[in-house]
Chain A
Amino acid sequence: MPKQKLILIGNGMAGIRAIEEILKLKPNDFDITVFGSEPYPNYNRIQLSKVLQGDTDVSDITLNEWQWYEDNNIRLYPGETVMKIDKQKQIVYTDKDREEAYDQLIIATGSNPFMLPLPGADKEGVTAFRDIKDCEKMIDYSKKHKRAAVIGGGLLGLEAARGLLNLGMDVDVIHLSDFLMERQLDRAAGELLQKELEAQGMNFLLEKQTAEITGKKHVTGLKFNDGGKIAADLVVMAVGIKPNIALAKENGIEVNRGIVVNDFMETDVPNIYAVGECAEHRQMVYGLVAPLYEQGQALAKRICGVDAEQGYQGSVLSTQLKVSGVDVFSTGKINEDKSSKAIKVFDEWRGTYKKLIVDEGKLAGAVLFGDTKDGNRLLSFIKKGANVEEYLDAGQSEESGVDLVAGMPDDEIICGCNGVSKGTIVDAIKNDSLTTVEQVKGCTNASRSCGTCKSLVSDLLEYTLGDDYADNQEESICGCTTLTKDEVIAEIKDKGLTHTREVMNVLGWKTEEGCSKCKPALNYYMGMLNPIEYEDEKESRFVNERMHANIQKDGTYSVVPRMYGGVTNSKDLRKIADVADKYEVGMIKLTGGQRIDLLGIQKQDLPSIWADLDMPSGSAYAKGLRTVKTCVGANFCRFGTQDSVGMGIDLEKKFEGLNTPHKIKMSVSACPRNCAEGGVKDVGVIGLDGVWEIHVAGNGGTHLRKADLLCKVKTSEELMEIVGAYLQYYRETANYLERTSAWVERVGIDHVKEVVVDDKKKRDELNERMDLALSAVQEPWGEAIKNETLLKELYEKVNVPTASK
């Protein structure tokens, strides 16, 4: 049978997704041609805001590389637009005078940004936020200009505004409604969101209608209906999108707001389909990603003539805002009305808000702010029309997650960012014998982008593997072995293993020399077990720890000398200043840990800088003690009750250079005002009158966590003893790369108290082992500059003289 000619107009997420689904069903039945107006292969448009926010590159959001088109024998004409469709002859005509006949035609022309027809909207410096070109334009502007105005306080506008803030611009957001994201959030959540974004530096002008964009050739500002005005060098219009239906309309295909399709994504013209944002299904036009995957599936089944009796049934939408530090989720109905009731939980202290809408006993919608972990689950309950009791009861039972994924159909999308369905994940788990979320991520891309579906992936593993997964909960060190950390440590002790490669050989590693996960982990565990005899392997260290400096994006390094307790003197400052001049340091920056960072240093200059500085390394790169931040303390401060500076210096001198599973940050404050911020430190000491409080396992980073009070002690000796035992217990029982916050959450603060505080014998033993480990510590910079081999091996480049011709 000759292949059918299939043409896709629109090289975007929806169309290509449909093609992928078709290829899955009938890989050899179609001769496929794709026309796309943008000069790129298919990329993930929803990740554009991450590009703008600097979290990722344009190259990272490509979904289908050029190679993919080749591999699947798809002819792609990028930068080429279809101008006309001859419905009778079944031929399309492009702007490059190409004619191409089709048997089946898919229109996936997406949307266009809606540009307000304001006076001045055509000036330079006005842009939409829709494609790579817009993104690049904004990045470009941010380099030369300072003031940005974003019109529209919805999803897209806020993501754009956050990006512009990251790019160093001052940002005003102009919004018509009196609270943000009013189409996805209720007032309470919208106001919480506003507060959070204001704290991030955004400025809001609510209930404002723009009347005019001012300026001559180039934008200079905005004028509002109420007579007010602001200055702006860049104006981003993010007020919405409209389906791109021009081509369909001009060629006599039925359109309303979008191109009208039935449950099989068929238009009113035979053999012509529409999919994605340009399509209108049961009066709905969708502007989000999830429906396009479901539509693609329905379309593919129809075109391939398989199992298509039901078709596409419409989608329940959910929204998530992609702004770092803000968790917002909403789905279904967002405002209560006469027939519905709401369940609301507002925790002002934690800054979380949750509202569920119940319509005739059934879950109909949800709005979450601050904590959105439950979002996917809620969405799933709403999709299947669950009674509210079912959700509330399920919240109490542990199996709820597994039951939930068990009830999902195979084609339900688990990872909305990458369009990975339940079926794909389950197949991968079965066929490739996957046992961990990490492996599923590596194999299918599920949970690779935003990560919110991780819990669902974990549930799917449990659902597919049953008890095997529960047994497997204690994860192996990495994909190179099935052994857990505890098993490996037991074997190392038992068999007296002395090198990482010996461990891998003897314990049957699947790879010859391990990977970037297990190598440094093994190196740490062996050093921890045997601090005196074990010879640290620099080959098994991450670059920063091997070089004793922090690598930067351009391959230069940064140098942070130690300043005990954040105290310095004029002599050290002079040395630092001299070094900065001599080596033309790119930037001198104060760190969050009360030290000075010299950035932009060439690798080969590192040893001579250390020699010139003649100061100990600040270990700013280390999985070890970074700094002990201190407040001014009783010697100067009128509120101080203890010598926090002295205590901080003592702690830092004692524990500097120690290897730990992950970095350790400490602080000492001299009164409850806690100026050294002990609530978010791995060890936060607070001095009160005659008493030291020791707080532990706080974290101010990715996983914000308030510290727990471990105990109170009277003397500095007791304090050293407790901190020593605590750190040693962490060293011995935490997984490599597990911060104290995660470790304490895992083992429980009460358990740590029992070992470290209540049991004097155990405490003494821990401190003995700690002292042994500390006795082996050497100052790395001083070591490096004395060691000729090390200097040659690590820091020298080979410079080849220019060839003479």
Chain B
Amino acid sequence: MEKTLRRVLVGNYSDLPERLGKTVVIDDLEVAVFKLSSGKVKAIENKCPHKGGVLADGMVSGEHVFCPMHDWKISVVDGEVQAPDEGCVQTFKTEVTDDQVYLLIKE
């Protein structure tokens, strides 16, 4: 099956709060978009593999987010759950051009 990338506009880069998550709803999919203190924008599925906690509302430290439900630590870069817990969330590519933030979603 052919897969195409859909480019989704999230909003202005300058409007994204630093070290906080933003929930982006695309049909049935929820994505948590984070602007890190390094200025990078990262996006992962807004659903903790543990009990489905909304990661966009978690606490952001460096390149990790702590799930607000039971404090699982998850990398916003590669989606890996940190030890001693285990698991992985889906990651999404992001693009920033002219203060516009885009998500690239596989269709």
Contact = CB atoms under 8 A, between A and B. Distances in A.
Interface in B1-57: 6, 8-11, 15, 17-20, 22-27, 33, 37, 50-54, 57
Contacts of A543: 57-59, 68
Contact of A551 (B22, B37, B57): B57
Nearest to B23: A797
A383 interface: no
Contacts of A511: 61-62
Nearest to A441: B84
B84 A516 contact: no
Contacts of A513: 19, 37, 60-62
B84 A443 contact: yes
A540 B58 CA distance: 10
Contacts of B62: 511-513
A88 interface: no
Interface in A502-521: 511-516, 519-520
Contacts of B9: 800
B69 to A, nearest CB: 7
B84 A792 contact: no
Nearest to B83: A442
Nearest to B101: A798
B71 interface: yes
Contacts of A67: 86
A800 B24 contact: yes
Interface string A131-169: 000000000000000000000000000000000000000
B6 A803 contact: yes
B17 to A, nearest CB: 4
B66 interface: yes
Interface in A397-447: 441-443, 445
A341 interface: no
A643 to B, nearest CB: 41
Contacts of B52: 553-555
Nearest to A68: B86
Given A443-B84, A542-B59, A555-B57, A516 B51 contact: no
Contact of A60 (B50, B57, B71): B50
A59 B72 CA distance: 14
B68 to A, nearest CB: 4
Given A442-B83, A448-B84, A798-B11, A793 B58 contact: no
Contacts of B18: 539
Contact of B73 (A57, A65, A515, A794): A515
A802 interface: yes
A793 B60 CA distance: 14
A622 to B, nearest CB: 16
Contacts of A59: 50
Contacts of B10: 798, 800
A512 B24 CA distance: 27
Interface string A542-554: 1100110001011
Nearest to A514: B61
Contacts of A520: 59
Contacts of B22: 797-798
A799 interface: yes
A793 B51 contact: no
Interface in A441-458: 441-443, 445, 448
Contacts of A800: 8-10, 24-27
Interface residues of A, number: 41
Residue from the set A65, A555, A603 with the largest chain B CB neighbour count within 10 Å: A555
Contact of B20 (A514, A539, A551): A539
A553 B68 contact: no
Contacts of A515: 61, 66, 73
B20 A519 contact: no
Contacts of A555: 52-54, 57
Interface in B62-87: 62, 66, 68-69, 71, 73, 83-84, 86
A802 B29 CA distance: 11
Contacts of A443: 84
B50 A794 contact: no
Interface in A366-398: none
Given A798-B22, A800-B26, A803-B6, A442 B59 contact: no
B59 A539 contact: yes
A447 to B, nearest CB: 12
Residue from the set B59, B62, B86 with the largest chain A CB neighbour count within 10 Å: B59
Interface in A765-805: 792-794, 797-800, 802-803
B24 A798 contact: yes
B94 to A, nearest CB: 13
Residue from the set A57, A445, A543, A794 with the largest chain B CB neighbour count within 10 Å: A543
Nearest to B10: A798
A333 B10 CA distance: 67
Contacts of B15: 792
Contacts of B23: 603, 797-798
A543 B56 CA distance: 10
A48 B61 CA distance: 34
A554 B26 CA distance: 18
A513 B18 CA distance: 13
Given A448-B84, A803-B6, A794 B20 contact: yes
B53 A519 contact: no
A794 B68 CA distance: 14
Contacts of B51: 57, 553
Nearest to A501: B37
B1 to A, nearest CB: 15
B66 A553 contact: no
A797 B37 CA distance: 21
B71 A516 contact: yes
A516 B61 contact: yes
B58 to A, nearest CB: 7
A798 B61 contact: no
A547 B84 contact: no
Contacts of A802: 27
A83 B10 CA distance: 58
Contacts of A794: 17, 20
Nearest to B18: A539
Contact of A540 (B8, B11, B59, B107): B59
A481 B8 CA distance: 41
B37 A65 contact: no
A551 B9 CA distance: 28
A299 B37 CA distance: 53
16 contacts: A57-B51, A442-B84, A513-B60, A515-B61, A515-B66, A538-B20, A539-B20, A539-B59, A541-B59, A797-B23, A797-B25, A798-B23, A798-B25, A800-B8, A800-B25, A803-B6
Given A59-B50, A511-B61, A803-B6, 6 more contacts: A57-B51, A513-B62, A555-B54, A800-B9, A800-B27, A802-B27
Interface of B: 6, 8-11, 15, 17-20, 22-27, 33, 37, 50-54, 57-62, 66, 68-69, 71, 73, 83-84, 86, 107
Interface of A: 57, 59-60, 65, 67, 441-443, 445, 448, 501, 511-516, 519-520, 538-543, 546-547, 551, 553-555, 603, 792-794, 797-800, 802-803
Nearest first, the 6 A-B pairs at minimum CB distance are A543-B68, A516-B66, A555-B54, A793-B17, A539-B19, A513-B62
